[in-house]
Chains A and B, each alone.
Chain A
Amino acid sequence: DQQVKQNSPSLSVQEGRISILNCDYTNSMFDYFLWYKKYPAEGPTFLISISSIKDKNEDGRFTVFLNKSAKHLSLHIVPSQPGDSAVYFCAAHRNFGNEKLTFGTGTRLTIIP
């Protein structure tokens, strides 16, 4: 039962343009959503998060949008830079007191110079 889904295994974007990564979830009990970035041979690195009571959170070049009615969130990166090339994981969390994260399968983003 895949509760968090990233339907695009890969995405290529021109440097300087906007990258949009999408994520869908099925469990309405999730209360927090996170994006992680992973380079080869490294562990995932936290990027940005959003609480289920908000619909947008922005941090520099990164913005996450949450549409609760559609159970959909997206990560926007603008402008995209070569260093953004990595695998991006969407993750969701429910229940305070247990830090369990449910991850999607990831999207490999390639920024073309």
Chain B
Amino acid sequence: ETGVTQSPTHLIKTRGQQVTLRCSSQSGHNTVSWYQQALGQGPQFIFQYYREEENGRGNFPPRFSGLQFPNYSSELNVNALELDDSALYLCASSFGLAGPNHEQFFGPGTRLTVL
């Protein structure tokens, strides 16, 4: 069973550029959530995708967008990068939406630095 993988591991961009981060969900999972973890903070929910549809969004501007593909892998796109976008971006996969099992499996993250 393959766990959640993310690419790239590290990325350096300059202000104003665009970036795409990728996530492969754990085998059998159909839900992907993205989180931003700034230095010294806990992860902040960006949005979630369930069966290729966005299902919930946190307090992030529209320049943060995403996709989920038929194989349930996902992309996070950020346009017009700002210095404050520098953070660790975590992807988490799970199966389904409801029920008592709220366990989400996290990937190792992508460290984005905006200069």
Query: Do these two chains really belong together in a complex?
Result: yes
**Contact surface of A with B, Cβ cutoff 8 Å:** 4, 6, 32, 34, 36, 41-46, 49, 51, 89, 91, 93, 96-106
In the bound complex, residues from chain B placing their C-beta under 8 Å from that of A45 are 106
Contact call B4/A96, Cβ cutoff below 8 A: no
**Contact status B43-A99, CB under 8 Å:** no
Q: Is the interface of B mostly helix, strand, loop or mixed?
A: loop
Contact A41:B108 (CB < 8 A) given known A49-B102, A98-B55 = yes
From A6, A49, A97, A100, name the one whose CB has the most chain B CB atoms within 10 angstroms.
A100
Report Cα–Cα, A49/B94, bound state, in Å: 15
- Check A99–B109 contact: CB distance below 8 A: no
Given A44-B43, A96-B97, A106-B42 in contact, is the A101-B106 Cβ separation under 8 Å?
Answer: no
Q: Could you give 15 example pairs across A and B, Cβ below 8 Å?
A: A34-B103, A43-B4, A43-B107, A43-B108, A45-B106, A51-B100, A89-B42, A97-B55, A99-B104, A101-B102, A101-B104, A103-B42, A103-B44, A105-B40, A106-B41
**Is A105 a contact partner of B33 (Cβ separation < 8 A)?**
no
Residues on B with C-beta less than 8 A from A46 are 103-105
CB neighbours of A42 from chain B (8 A): 108
CB contacts (< 8 Å) of A4 on chain B: these are 42
B12 within 8 A of A: no
Among A100, A103, A106, the residue within 8 A (CB) of B48 is A100
